[in-house]
Every structure is written in structure tokens, then in C-alpha cells.
Structure 1
Amino acid sequence: MSLHPLSGAEISDIRTQLHELQIEHRDLDLVITHLIENPPPDDLLIRRLKKRKLLLKDRILQLEEMLVPDIPA
């Protein structure tokens, strides 16, 4: 985590990024489902899309953590 509090502009930028990644993540989920349900599935493409989806999820979690203020122990 950063040692300084985020500015309003930084928070806004993070929220914008977060929203865009969440949309991409949802879209990938729809594409993967469509490919699986409409044979013949392209297994390599599905694996690549799932990997991208996992990377997006990790980045989404990182951005969400940046928006949560640190709680002193």
C-alpha cells in the first residue's frame, strides 16, 4: 500500500479503471460461455480468455484494495 492518502483525482482514476476492468471481465465471461455452449469450442481460445479473465480479476482486487483506507492496528 502507499504511504500517503490518495487524492480525489487518484481515487477517481482508480474507480474509472476499476469500472472498465469489471466491464471487460463481465464481457469475457459472456464470450467464454458463448464459446463453450456453441460447439465446436476452440479450447485454446477458451483457455486464453479464462487466463485473461483471471488476470483482470486480480487487477480488480488490487484496485479495490487501493480504495479501502488503511485501518490502524
Structure 2
Amino acid sequence: MSRFWVGRLTQMTAEEERELLAHLERLRQEHRDLDVAIQALQDMPGSDQLQLARFKKRKLQLRDRIGYIEDQICPDIIA
């Protein structure tokens, strides 16, 4: 089983990386789905502003989580 370093102090197996990549893809898909839902809600007259705010908040949470996971997979190392 191959192992490689990810991040500063953590070590990740190839299987763990595959699982993380699959999770990352699910988060990206949810982020794209929220884009569509937000646009549809904005285009609707009299749309539910509370629901729109919730969607936008969730989208920001996803963006942060996606960035965190991407950093775990491929850290930005300044040499």
C-alpha cells in the first residue's frame, strides 16, 4: 500500500485520498446544484428571500470546505 505525505504532519494512504477525492466531487456537485437553485430562485418573482439566503450561506460553507479539502490533497508549500 503506497503512502504519501499530505499537509504538514498528516500522512494519507491512497485509499484515503480516493475517498477524499470522491467526497470533494460530491461537494463540488452540491455547489453546482446550489448555483442552479439560487439562479432559479432569483429569477422567480416573489421568491422566498429567507430560502435564498440559506442557499447562499450553504454555498459559502461548501466553498470553504472544498478549499480546505483541496489544501489537504495538494498543500500550497512555499519553498
Give the ranges of 4+ consecutive aligned residues of structure 1 lying more than 4 Å apart after TM superposition: none
Q: Does 1:59 align with 2:65?
A: yes
Partner of 1:14: 20
TM-score normalized with structure 1 length: 0.89
2:23 partner amino acid:
Q
RMSD: 1.6
Partner of 2:74: 68
TM-score normalized with structure 2 length: 0.83
Q: Unaligned regions of 5+ residues in structure 1, if any? A: none
Query: How many residues in Structure 1 have an aligned counterpart in Structure 2?
Result: 73
Structure possessing the higher relative contact order (Cα contacts under 8 Å, 6 or more residues apart): 1
Q: Unaligned regions of 5+ residues in structure 2, if any? A: 1-6
Equivalents in 1 of 2:76, 2:27: separation in Å? 23
User: How far is 1:24 from its partner?
Assistant: 0.3
Q: Which residue of 14, 22, 29 corresponds with 1:23?
A: 29
Q: Which structure: greater strand fraction?
A: 2
